Structure 1
Amino acid sequence: MSSGTVADMVDDLRQRIDSGALEPDEKLPSTRVLMETYGLSDNAVYRAIALLKAEGYAYSRQGKGVFVRSRRALITGARRIRGITHPGERIEWRYSTRTEAPAWVAEHLGAGECVERARTVRRGDEIKEASRSWVHLDVVGVVPELDEARPCNPTWQAVYTERSGNPVKAVSVIADARIATDDDREALGLPAGTHPVLFTRTVYATGDRVIGVGESVPAPGNPVDLTEH
């Protein structure tokens, strides 16, 4: 690219990171190389890097350069509804069952039966995240796949939106910590013992009605990023 703009550089690097061409913690090219690649001045390259950092795509290591930030930990909002995996990752389904809503779920969905689904996200042999979702039975009429032990492509929220015409939004996300439960340990492959873990809970709604909630537990060592993308 002989000449360009800050937006060109940002768009290109963003696409390369999203596609997996640039992997988490990979070092970005030097300022000089970026200047030559995108036909920009050093100040323009600095502005582009600052935008990538502000959007959560990059971070600096003092004296070492600029690196790609991992986008795995938490994808919220519309990005999470479109899909929860990144290139090289896969979903492994653990179970899907009808169950009575746990107390915290009932606070959002109402008491009674709902569909509970559990899965893990892996990159190679490494478990990156375990998650569960609880979905109102009304949604099953639109997305019957919820009762099956297989993924909804790309997610139940996106499928529901497409089929019903009613957009689903992630209306709130909270993060907290706890001692790993038996289910956490089983899903994440943790050994016996006491393991503190972080978790996030997301509430999904269409219009003014909550139709699902989700809980994600990243494997120890994976950060939780509450930035909305």
Structure 2
Amino acid sequence: MPRKSDERPPQLKIAADLRAKIMSGELEPGQKLPSTAELAETYGTAAATAHNATKLLQAEGFAYGQAGKGVFVRDRRPFVVRTAAYFDPAERGVTYRLLDVAEVDAPKHVAAELGEERAILRHRLMLRDEEPVEVSWSYYPHSLAADTALSRRGRIRGGAPAVLAELGHPEREFTDSVSVRPPTTGEAELLELPEGIPVIRQLRVVYSDEARPVEVSILIKGGHLYELRYQQTIPGEAS
């Protein structure tokens, strides 16, 4: 079967090549990118197309421009998502904005995980240095969370884990299902995503004792801002 050709617009192909070189370290922080004329010659495109490619990298945070000097690689440190961690310490500069708290009919896939259709929703936006980086929808079983701090607007001291523990349902373990997809219009607007950036979607189910589900969260992150990190202990040979 013939291999499918890359039919993306030229500026996306150029940006993809440069992005890969930045992420691999071939283009280092502070290093100047090839000029618009050089990129146009290398890729056989118009200067405007090459310019649009570098503008895209700037919008994504991979590069920055200096008037009269050119475009340079930004010293960029992505958020690291450790798949084996849940209670990572909060990073400096990270804040949350509570967007909504409501009693709702849970989406079907959430209801299936919670084991009931009614839920308490807490909808939040996470910001890093005042820039939006994650939007989340956290659902709690109505039978458990109604008429508790989880159902009221406002910050919760100790967060949801503290409330659940007080209710006799401490969080014991969780599972994450991670996927990548294009953003919805609402997600793109909330996260102020550059054009063409996909999102990382985490579906997190948190369990208490006896494997009771006490929280289902949908976490949406800009794909250009995050890095997933996996760590696995390698078992030794059986003696």
What TM-score comes out, normalization by structure 2 length? Answer: 0.56
- Which letter maps to 2:193? L
Alignment partner of 1:123 is 2:123: no
Correspondence for 1:189: 192
In structure 1, the partner of 2:201 is 199
The alignment partner of 2:81 has SS state of: coil
Q: Which runs of 4+ in 1 moved over 4 A?
A: 67-70
Alignment counterpart, residue 99 of structure 1, candidates 91, 100, 104:
104
Distance 1:176 1:129, change over 3 A: same
Name the structure 1 match of 2:81. 74
CA contact (8 A) 2:98 2:154 kept: yes
Per-residue CA deviation, residues 101-132 of structure 1 (Å, 9 max, x unaligned), is 10110111124210111111112231121111
Unaligned runs of 5+ in 2: 1-74, 233-239
The yes-or-no answer on 1:151 pairing with 2:155 is yes
Spell out the pairing of 1:168-183 with structure 2 (5 A cutoff): 168-183=171-186
Seen in structure 2, the aligned counterparts of structure 1 residues 73 and 132 have a Cα distance that, compared at 3 Å, is farther
* TM-score scaled by length of structure 1: 0.58
Q: 1:194 to 1:87 in 2, by over 3 A?
A: closer
Q: Post-superposition shift, 1:76?
A: 5.6
Q: CA deviation at 1:184?
A: 1.3
State the number of aligned residues: 157
- Aligned runs of 1:31-50 on 2, under 5 Å? none
Counterpart among 147, 161, 164 of residue 160 in structure 1: 164
* Aligned-residue RMSD, C-alpha: 3.0
SS of the equivalent of 1:153 reads coil
After superposition, give the CA deviation of every residue in 1:61-102 in whole Å (9 maximum; x if it has no partner): xxxxxx9975x443566x53x477322211111111111010
Counting aligned pairs with the same residue, the percent is 20
Distance 2:120 2:89 in 1: 19
User: How far apart in 2 are the matches of 1:196 and 1:114?
Assistant: 28
Equivalent position SS for 1:74 = strand
What are the ranges of 5 or more consecutive residues in structure 1 without an aligned counterpart? 1-66
Whether the aligned pair in 1 keeps the contact of 2:104 and 2:121 (CA below 8 Å) is: yes
Q: Give the aligned partner of residue 65 of structure 2.
A: none
Structure 1 window deviating more from structure 2 (92-101 vs 145-154): it is 145-154
